Amino acid sequence: MQMIRCPWCGPREEVEFHYGGQAHVPYPAEPAALSDEEWAHYVFFRDNTRGVFAERWSHSAGCRKWFNALRDTVSYRFLAVYRPGDPRPVLDGSDQTQHQTHHQKAGASS
């Protein structure tokens, strides 16, 4: 089973965590000014990223705290975890996963 590193408790089994969707979705600055379509986009529309995705997780069977993680949606590998309020970490090149390299190579050769 995959281990996920809680920023407080350290590595724990995946089943101890709950997924919370895309991270860094800002609440509308002027909610009253939004049209129905803009509300629908805020409430329901999320990115469907192939590769590194910033998302929210909760250590629901442990400290029950929410945190953010950068996860590769292809390999499922967690590349970074960080506490709420902390800025999204910048990954260096070594963190980029294999499939992106393949993808880029395929793109370059075609």
Partner 1 sequence: MADAAPSSTVPLPRTHPLDVRPDLTEQTAGAVVARPLTTAVQVRAELPGPAADAAARVLGVALPARPGTWVATPGGGRVVWLGPDEWLVLDPTTTPWDLEPRLREALAPAGGAAVDVSAQRVVLELSGPLARDLLAAGCAVDTHPSVFPAGRAAQTLLAQAGVVLLALSDDGQRYELLVRSSFARYLADWLVDAATEHRARRA
The counts of H helices and E strands in the chain are: 2, 6
Tell me how far, at minimum, the Cβ of 26 lies from partner 1, in Å: 24
Residues at the site binding partner 1, with contacts judged by CB under 8 A: 1, 3, 8-10, 12-13, 15-16, 61-65
Side-chain half-sphere of 44: how many Cα atoms within 13 Å?
5
Judged by CB, which is closer to partner 1: 42, or 66? 66
In the complex with partner 1, the residue whose CB is nearer, 65 or 99, is 65
Residue 7 or 89: which CB sits closer to partner 1?
A: 7
Give least dist CB 19 to partner 1, A. 17
User: How far apart are the C-alpha atoms of 73 and 70, rounded to whole Å?
Assistant: 9
- Report the distance separating Cα 62 and Cα 42, nearest Å: 30
**Count of other CB atoms within 10 angstroms of residue 47:** 10
- Shortest separation between residue 34's beta carbon and partner 1, angstroms: 33
Nearer to partner 1, 9 or 79 (CB): 9
